[in-house]
Structures are given as C-alpha cells and as structure tokens.
Amino acid sequence: MDKNTGFLLSYIKYGDYDAILHCYTLESGFQSFFMRGIYSAKNKKKAFLSPLNELEITFSSHHGNLPMIKKVELNEKLPDEVNVHQNAVIFFLSDFLNQILKNESQQVALYQEIKFFKQKTLEKKMHAHYFFLIRMLQFFGISPLVSEEKFLNIEKGVFQEEITQKEVDEELSFLWKKILNQEIDEDFIIEKKYRKSLLDSILQYYKMHFPEFYSPKSLAVILEVFK
C-alpha cells in the first residue's frame, strides 16, 4: 500500500455511501481518490471532509481509474474553535485551489505555501488570503512585472505611468506592488475601502492570465463576510 499526505480541496458524493476526494498532495501533486463507505452510518470519518483539512491517505487498489482509500487520518491538530471569518477564507481558498491546481504535479514549495497560509488564517491573520492569491501568481510565473511606474495594467501584466482602469488607482497599484515585493509583514491590515477592490482586481488578473479561470462559487460568501 502507498501513502499520500494532502490537502482536501473538494469531494463529490458517489452513490449512497461513497465519495471521490480531490486533494493536492505532497507526493503526487493534484490527485483524486475513491473512498468507500464514508457516508455510512458507522463511519466516523465524515468530519474529515472539511475544506483544506490535511489528510494522511493510505491507498492501494483502484476503483476504475482512481486509487482506493484504505485508511484516512488527519495529519494535523485542528483548532478548538474556528470563527465565521476563518471558515469563509478556508472555504474560499479550497474552492480557488481546486480550480487552479487540477493540472499541477508535485511541488514541495507550493505545498508548503498552502500550509503556511492556512496556518496564518487559523492564527487569525485575516488578510493573509489576499497575499496568498498574489503569491500564487508568482508560483505560476504570471505575476505582474514590478517597475517604478505607478499604475498596474491588469491586461498587460505590467506597471505603467498612465492609469488604464479607474478601479485600479495609484493606491491600489501600490498595494499590489508591496505584496509582490513581499514588503508587508503578517500583521499588516488592508484598509476596509480596498478589500473588495483588491480582491476584484486579483480575480480579474487571473481571468486574463490563467486559462479558463472563473470566479470561485464561494466568492459571494467571502465578500459578505469581509464587507
């Protein structure tokens, strides 16, 4: 039997009692698993099916084209309490990662980045997800080219002297630049007036530079929580 450690990104109920789990694993990158009986009355592991839970998965034979899970355990100690803001962020990030990592192979640095930012969220660094989304652009090699110019041009992925979108003003462009240059410590707070516009600009950037990207379904929830 083999083992993978991975973050649960999403799952689909299969029949009455079974499920297909989609994970980003340390050993194999994006991987889907078949889990038999997770919805049966006797199974106590349904609580493990929470977004971004880090699981240790033991698997062997295949169900069709998928590895079949023989045993699953939590690979982390869960916090005693998670508030509505933390839950919203974690659900949003799992939704986001489930989309952008589907074709990703093993990357230890990427796995550790997910682990780091999840921990920051659990430590109630409630603006860490903005930094994480921009950091992912750097992992994929599609982040804006930083220069001395003032305004971010989302379509071209550069900074320039003239504004191209009124929504991406000088202050918002400067915030992008600070995050890209990693000039923000973990206690930095994004002002309320920029939270929605920053997130909107990040998702717009993904739509223009990441193939077939669409806004995560959980976007409405996180906007409601952080408005």
pTM: 0.91
Write the burial class of residue 9 (CB in 10 Å: 0-12 exposed, 13-18 middle, 19+ buried): buried
Q: Are 65 and 100 in contact (CB under 8 A)?
A: no
CB 184 within 8 A of CB 176: no
Distances from the Cα of 91 to the Cα of 98, 146, 203, 219, angstroms: 11, 30, 16, 10
- In sequence order, the 6+-apart residues with CB closer than 8 A to the CB of 118 are 7, 52, 54, 90, 93
Q: Are 179 and 186 in contact (CB under 8 A)?
A: no
Dihedral sign of CA atoms 221, 209, 115, 23 in order: positive
pLDDT digits (tens, 9 = 90+) for 30-77: 999 999 999 998 888 888 899 999 999 999 877 678 999 999 999 888
Q: What integer best gives the mean pLDDT of the chain?
A: 91
Task: Return d(Cα 87, Cα 67) in angstroms, integer.
Answer: 29
Chain centre to alpha carbon of residue 142? 17
CB-CB neighbours of 174 under 10 Å: 14
- For the chain, residues classed under CATH 2.40.50.140 are 2-74
**pLDDT at residue 1, as a whole number:** 77
Phi, psi dihedral angles at 23 (to 5 degrees)? -135, 155
Name every residue whose Cβ is closer than 8 Å to that of residue 103 and which is 6 or more positions away in sequence.
30
What is the tens place of the pLDDT at every residue in 171-201?
A: 999 999 989 988 666 667 788 889 999 999 9
Task: Pick the range with the lowest mean pLDDT from 82-86, 88-92, 102-106, 167-171.
Answer: 82-86
- The secondary structure of 54-106 as a DSSP string is EEEEEEEEEETTEEEEEEEEESSPPPS---HHHHHHHHHHHHHHHHHTTT---
CATH, domain range 2-74: 2.40.50.140
Distance separating alpha carbons of residues 112 and 101, to the nearest angstrom? 14
**84-225: which CATH topology?**
de novo design (two linked rop proteins) (1.20.1440)
Structural element, H or E, at residue 23: strand 18-25
Report the alpha-carbon distance of residue 198 to residue 200 in Å, rounded: 5
